[in-house]
Amino acid sequence: MPNLIQKIILLFVIWLASQASCAFAVEKSKQTKPLRIAVAANFAQTLKLLLADLPNKEKINYQIISAATGTLYQQIKHGAPFDIFLSADATRPKLLEQEKLIIANSRKTYAFGQIALWSATQQLNSLNELKSYSNKLAIANPYTAPYGKAAQQALQHLSLWPQLKNQLVTGININQTFQQVRSQAVPFGIVAYSQLVINKYQGIIIPPEYYQPIAQQLVIIKASQQVKLAQQVSDFILQVSSQHKLQQLGYLPIKSRQEHSKVNE
């Protein structure tokens, strides 16, 4: 018996050692890298649906890498091997531009986010239901998350902010807010409308006039060695058919919103 166990351990150690050696070998042999698209977590699903229509997509080898916008920004700052970055806001792409880490003039607004009031426990009919609402309300952190800031502005526009600000549950990002409402832990929440569309929920869209536009911008990273390909992807996302699809997925397309206010200063 002990001999058998010793053999098993020996085999395990050999396996570990072989894994160790081949892992380093594999790392060296990687030459042709795929196009790496870094995307804000809340846009990742939408992006996948969009890229399904990418022409010649069989020939284009791409990878979608999603994380929080702040994390991706830090990583790009420290040399992450990404080619194109789809942010959930306009702030980080602007910072990257100032830091000269992007291809000149590659910063483009690719969509505007919309917010919606939503409850997983009851059918909502109008925003007026907030007036007499006395329970917890979930929004994303207004100081760090663009969708949270928009939620605050909308509540201020409706003059409900002083009344509701003590009932708020703030999530670190809009996905956490969505989870809080979806799990019915919080009865009402202001979430991204795109989240409701993808998950086939019904909510009440908050009119875009109530808040500053949530511009989502993309940039092409200067260190990219596949700028042409990145440019193709950027162009594809900005083209009319894609924008039309974005509208169906709960975003406002670039054109309609740009008429409202100037965002790309």
What are the tokens at 261?
A: 């206010």
Residue 220's nearest CA partner among 68, 67, 104 is 104
Which region, judged by CB under 8 A, interacts with other proteins, from 35-43, 50-58, 207-215, 253-261? 35-43
Q: Which of 35, 37, 42, 190 binds other proteins (CB under 8 A)?
A: 42
Q: Which of 11, 16, 185, 205 binds other proteins (CB under 8 A)?
A: 16
Q: Which of 54, 71, 169, 249 binds other proteins (CB under 8 A)?
A: 71
Q: Which runs of consecutive H residues, i.e. helices, occur in 30-173?
A: 41-51, 69-77, 91-98, 146-157, 161-164
| Nearer of residues 65 and 158 to other proteins, judged by Cβ | 65
Hey, what amino acid is at 238? L
- Distance CA(19)–CA(211), nearest Å, equals 53
Q: Which of 35, 69, 73, 82 binds other proteins (CB under 8 A)?
A: 82
Q: Does 59 bind other proteins (CB under 8 A)?
A: no
Residue 170's nearest CA partner among 149, 196, 184, 197 is 149
What are the tokens at 95?
A: 């910072």
CB of 2 to other proteins, least distance (A): 6
- Distance CA(198)–CA(193), nearest Å, equals 9
CB of 81 to other proteins, least distance (A): 6
Q: Does 23 bind other proteins (CB under 8 A)?
A: yes
Q: Does 175 bind other proteins (CB under 8 A)?
A: yes
